[in-house]
Amino acid sequence: MSGRVVHGHHVGGRLAPKAPHGLRLHAPRYGINLAAFPATPSSTSYGSTPAAQACLRDILGNDRLGDCTEADQFHRQALRQSVAGRPVFHPTLDVVVATYTRDGGLPGDNGCDETVVQGNACSAGTPDGEGTVHRPAGFIQVDATNRDLVRAALTMFVGLSACAGLPDDFVDDMPSADGYTFGVSGAPNPNNGHCFTLADQTDQSLGMWSWAIPGTFTYDACAEYCAETQGGALYATLDEQVLVASILRAPDALDWAALVQDFQALGGVVQTAASPSLLERIESWLGRRL
């Protein structure tokens, strides 16, 4: 069995990727210029949207299974759907377990490589409550040590996936109620692999959801535990579900074409020759041709 259960929290479900994800928001060859990004607001509070609460407050099996990677996927999907004013999908445990099995976690409760989980979501899809599976367009790695980039990416793509080896100090003192703070507290331990959702940002800190409990993630901790050099990672997902239905723009006012253009400029969008084009997918989602 992967990991262990400590006070109702399963740790060790995140397996460090066998190979780093190649698409990086901070890759020097893409010439990223933060000044060209939309202005980042002083704060975002995606994690407090009422429609997302039922899903966010559900541990989704991570109290007994090492399915933190799937719990994070469904929690971030709930954020994107709620911000866009769409129906929010709250998966049953059976749905989560089926996805965890597909991604290689079961049988055996072996945990998952987050790049496999996110790649499967883009290629095979994830249930979205709308009668079909939903396929995000792609995912990209974000430099966890660059505070401005982290804030901009969280705002633009509606949440981030934080993956790390938790320090033993944090595992020994598990959160039991809202309002905990995850700061720098010892060296990362790959045996405590965990993925969790970053939902909010301010100049002072990030808002996190782990084991269905909201807390605070300091920027120092993000830089310490989610940095590639420490075996961690931070990911953003490009997904048309962030588009607010009434205006067809993301919360930062970017439209889908602009988001896709920016994403492609960073190295491309996850897609195979056999899959529908991005235009066909967005047209299908909208129910009309553009």
Distance CA(118)–CA(106), nearest Å, equals: 17
Under a CB-based contact definition with an 8 Å cutoff, are residues 166 and 199 in contact? no
Two tokens, residue 71: 């719990």
Six token digits for residue 82? 């709620």
Angle at CA of residue 199, ends 193 and 201, nearest 5°? 110
Q: Does domain 4-286 have CATH number 3.90.70.10?
A: yes
- Sorted by where each begins, the domain ranges of the chain are 4-286
Bond before 107 cis per omega within 30 degrees: yes
DSSP notation for 200-227: EEESSEEEEEETTEEEEEEHHHHHHHSS
Per-residue confidence in pLDDT tens, the chain, 290 aa: 457 777 677 777 888 776 666 556 655 544 455 556 677 899 999 999 999 999 999 999 999 999 999 999 999 999 999 998 889 999 999 999 999 999 999 999 999 999 999 989 988 998 988 777 888 888 888 899 999 889 988 988 899 999 999 999 999 989 999 999 999 999 999 999 999 999 999 999 999 999 999 999 999 999 999 999 999 999 999 888 887 766 677 776 767 777 776 666 655 444 433 445 555 555 554 554 44
